[in-house]
Copies of this chain bind each other. A is one copy, B any other.
């Protein structure tokens, strides 16, 4: 299928001044064929989208979430972390069936599509169901089976991860990729992690892990190993594999150097870190050292939404006040974090994260005809500092129109909301 998007403002995220004021985008199959200024080349296109008063940009890459935790949204808030986990989150999670994970993931995917996310990195369980949801919905998913290295399930987690890879890696027209998902340094001892690292090497895939999220983790690992969590991971050999490290809140300056030297991708989750009072990650320092710091929403139980526009905005505001410097993390850098840095952190920047010929046709079209988007002195600043999920009008993933005029075209959205609500009612019965 070929699609022409005409008369459109384009923010390709290929540089701070790369905005094209009146341009066109040609999509052929699942790839971007051409992007340019001015009039589109004559041709016969299967579909023409008029971009007047609209802006196209790369779809957002949510680099850290637990999609099916949408089922826990609003179930428990404003509580101390361990009490929240032990009395609320874990008991409810223990009730989740494979079917629940499917509907919870579908609910997350509806929400992500409707707020402009075109790819997400997920870590959870019953991952077959997440893969099925990704496959059916048209979104792009980078999936890892969460692995706890202590306790009775550690063997099964390794086996299931290998099966997930065999069954789903590069499936759904390549929209699904797999990673290994050891949960965290404090739940996966070095011996277990070494087995994970070996498996990743055998399969040739990356590793997605929670790292240095809380002060408690930092202190406990220090006490147990005499090292920081990042040092421990380096010494365990984790970074010999491509690594996506979520959170990275509590770091020494030496830790930052280690992450940079090993080209570790970081998924920064500002809103989850704020809500759980985990702390503020040293993002400006990491970016300055060249670390591809990307954005993630984390699960809906600690956010409580999966809205990357809000995440981007909160990120830009938070680091300004945290450094007491209003020039830190300007709008364009926040947008990079939500797009191209996400692709880099996932090792997919040869396919995603920018709008340019040859890359996958993953993009969103936002409607500028909104009171909060006027005037149009700086459309990029408007998007980052004032944009809303509901401004996202059209979503194209892998060359396919997944949403148009805010209506999802690939599956029945209403059924998802109903099934998710029904599941939630059963969970708290």
Contact = CB atoms under 8 A, between A and B. Distances in A.
A318 interface: yes
Question: How many copies of the shown chain assemble into the complex?
Answer: 2
A228 interface: no
Given A74-B382, A74-B386, A326-B79, A374 B420 contact: yes
B317 A275 contact: yes
A275 B326 contact: yes
Given A321-B279, A382-B73, A424 B376 contact: yes
Interface in A28-56: none
Contact of A385 (B74, B369, B424): B74
Given A73-B377, A321-B274, A306 B372 contact: yes
A202 to B, nearest CB: 38
Q: In which size bucket is the chain A interface?
A: 35 or more
Interface of A: 70-71, 73-75, 77-81, 84, 107, 110-111, 114-115, 215, 271, 273-280, 300, 303-307, 310, 313-314, 316-318, 320-321, 323-331, 369, 371-372, 374-379, 381-382, 385-386, 388-390, 413, 416-417, 420-421, 423-425, 428
A379 B424 CA distance: 13
Nearest to A271: B317
B75 A378 contact: yes
B388 A74 contact: no
Nearest to A420: B374
Nearest to A272: B317
